[in-house]
Structure 1
Amino acid sequence: MTPDSAPTVQQLLAFYLEAGVDCALTEEPVNRLSDPDIGAAAREAALPKPVRTIPAVIAAPRVEAAPAPEAAILSAREAARTAPTLEALRALLEQFDGCALKSTATRLVFADGNPQARIMFVGEAPGREEDIEGLPFVGRSGKLLDRMIAAIGLDRTSVYIANVIPWRPPGNRTPTPQETQICLPFIQRQIELVNPDVLVTLGNPSTQTLLSTREGIMKTRGRWFDYETGTRVIRALATFHPAYLLRSPSYKRMAWQDLRSIAKTLEQAQTTSSS
């Protein structure tokens, strides 16, 4: 595209997607300058303003600082610890303002599935479809996850699904380490309250966050870990995120091996509990 040529619709859409704009808020575009009051204010704002000096005796407006990350993490830990049930934990997250992602997301994406499930899947963060519907794993990767769990005789009524981050990062960007640490106490409490027999971390970010490892998913997938809740040790396995499998379908064979290992462990746990 030359500097003098106008961009095509496809080029504009590609630009918006790169900038993180991937959904419309209304059916029709809104010309906010058409409003007489707003238009006048905008025109006035565009005019040059005379320079004014502020007397030294007049204090500058006080700007409230955002809570420090350490304070937000501490607040999250204290709040999560007080939740006696999943319903109470969800209510706490709805009221929690310590994570900036809440202000840019459409809604909280807490969980889906059966709270009494023996197996819990945890991903990293919601995407566009999840942000719209308020449920985890409902887009393309969610449909693949449904097929994955169906391959071992399960469905969403027999599993529990959540994310480390319950709010969508703008433009599906990677959550920052601070955002992850702020949200971590809530997902830890969520796992503790569900109390599954098997915990499955989907992808590298959730695996490294929950299983306290710095190794990549290629080294951790298929390996069993002990996940400590403070009251119980839960068997945990890392595997590929469905979104990664959509981009790299050649790894589906390894994911199938992980699923078979999960099914075997669930069967063993059932046998142990019934004996």
Structure 2
Amino acid sequence: MVRAMAGGREEDRRAALALLAWQLAAGVDEVVGNLPVNRLESAASIRGRPPATPRPMPSSATARSAPAPAAAAAQQGPSEAVMAARARAREAETLEQLRDILAGFDGCALRLTARNLCFADGNPQARIMFVGEAPGQEEDIQGAPFVGPAGKLLDRMLAAIGLDRTSVYITNVVYWRPPGNRTPTPQETQICRPFVERQIELADPDVLVLLGNASASVLLDRKEGILRLRGKWFDFDTGRRTIPAMPTLHPAYLLRQPGQKRLAWRDFLAIRKALDG
């Protein structure tokens, strides 16, 4: 009997591990609630509970005057959200104002699932600006771009050409972490695009580096993949002036494909030459 009980516990342990593996594969990486919920609880025990006290409903006037952020974001269609983003981005006269506007902008649903806005890191007065794709888990926790494993590799790449966080300005084309670190949708990038373009215009760097396919395709309106675009110079028009822009490989990609670092090294040497020239 004892052996049978031990065998049952082992089966339960294996089932729990299999469930955790499935959740990780599905992109679950955070605990939503503090207490477990017994989904296998019998219906009889549920029926035996006293009825829950209903929550008071807000008055219609209150609901109209203060809509929930989730409801406000859901009411906007893609085109309306993009138009709202363009209007709000134009209001910013400084990078600080742009960040404050983004913090209150409810047109992108990603802000509802993210912990923090990841606006920028580094020196806003730097001559060179890097634009990546989207925050990851560590970036979402700290509220800054490129602070996780990919950011540590980026720091080493910068050091190889004599740069560091005090001499560069860094952001992403999407300011909030997508759930499970999934790729941002075209709608999400288009909603954030006016803010990124305004951020580049206000920072006014001499050189723009686009890290990965997402930032290159969005900001350059190119359909080619990053392996075709990397290492080439393009013109990025801010409305005030034209900035030379180079797409290159994203550090996260280089962590998965370390053999491609030689290509990124060539790009970074060309970037260093452009800064020196």
- Normalising by the smaller structure, the TM-score range is 0.7 to 0.9
Letter of the 1:243 counterpart: A
Residues 38-96 of structure 1 show CA distances to partners (whole Å, capped at 9, x for unaligned) of x9799689xxxxxxxxxxxxxxxxx9862111111000000001100010000000100
Letter of the 2:200 counterpart: I
Pick the aligned partner of 1:18 from 17, 21, 25.
25
Structural mapping, 1:44-63, within 5 Å: none
Q: Which residue of 1 aligns with 2:195?
A: 186
Quickly say closer, same or farther: Cα 1:41–1:142, change in 2 above 3 A. farther
Quickly say closer, same or farther: Cα 1:129–1:88, change in 2 above 3 A. same
2:138 and 2:18 map into 1 onto residues whose CA distance is: 23
Quickly say closer, same or farther: Cα 1:13–1:254, change in 2 above 3 A. same
- 1:94 has 2:109 as partner: no
- 1:264 has 2:276 as partner: no
1:117 and 1:171 map into 2 onto residues whose CA distance is: 32
- 1:108 has 2:120 as partner: no
SS of the residue 1:238 aligns to: strand
Quickly say closer, same or farther: Cα 1:8–1:30, change in 2 above 3 A. closer
- 1:173 has 2:182 as partner: yes
Residues 145-172 of structure 1 show CA distances to partners (whole Å, capped at 9, x for unaligned) of 0000111000001100000000000111
1:30 and 1:42 map into 2 onto residues whose CA distance is: 20
Pick the aligned partner of 1:84 from 87, 93, 100.
93
Give the TM-score normalised by structure 1.
Answer: 0.82
Letter of the 2:26 counterpart: A
1:32 and 1:193 map into 2 onto residues whose CA distance is: 52
Letter of the 2:118 counterpart: V
2:126 and 2:213 map into 1 onto residues whose CA distance is: 23
Q: Which residue of 1 aligns with 2:130?
A: 121
Q: Which residue of 2 aligns with 1:136?
A: 145
Q: Which residue of 2 aligns with 1:50?
A: none
> Deviation of residue 21 (structure 1)?
1.7
SS of the residue 2:276 aligns to: helix
Q: Which residue of 2 aligns with 1:156?
A: 165
SS of the residue 2:75 aligns to: coil
> Deviation of residue 267 (structure 1)?
0.5
RMSD: 2.5
> Deviation of residue 173 (structure 1)?
1.0
Residues 209-246 of structure 1 show CA distances to partners (whole Å, capped at 9, x for unaligned) of 01111001111000000000001100100100000000
Quickly say closer, same or farther: Cα 1:31–1:228, change in 2 above 3 A. same
> Deviation of residue 25 (structure 1)?
5.7
> Deviation of residue 10 (structure 1)?
3.9
Relative to structure 2, which stretch is displaced further, 12-21 or 218-227?
Answer: 12-21
1:232 and 1:85 map into 2 onto residues whose CA distance is: 17
Percent identity between the two aligned chains: 60
Letter of the 1:14 counterpart: A
SS of the residue 1:122 aligns to: strand
> Deviation of residue 24 (structure 1)?
3.6
Quickly say closer, same or farther: Cα 1:31–1:204, change in 2 above 3 A. same
Give the TM-score normalised by structure 2.
Answer: 0.82
